[in-house]
Amino acid sequence: RIAASGFMQFSPEIVEVLKSLDEWSFDVFALGKAAQNQPVRYLGYDLLNRYGCLSKFKINLQTIENFLNRVEQGYLRYGNPYHNNLHAADVAQTVHYMLC
């Protein structure tokens, strides 16, 4: 279910954490640790893939990886202790949970 492009590689730890993506008890902190502080990159890719957006809109995998990296870097730019990349991943997962 979790696809890895030639660019993004999902470690076994990331795959394990993402198994609970559909649950309220999803541990975004575990994802942050497993993803080496890049939770938006991996969660964003996984959600876009699960919802079929990548194939439906024929999004180039390198392009989506670059986009998610830029989004992640934007959240890290100012070192905000709350509105950061971990919070963004948490909000994305919560919205996903409510939709599924």
Active site residues: 83
Cα 86 to chain centroid distance, Å, stands at 10
**Tokens standing for 50?**
């699960």
Question: What whole-number distance in Å separates Cα of residue 45 and Cα of residue 20?
Answer: 15
Radius of gyration of the chain (CA): 13
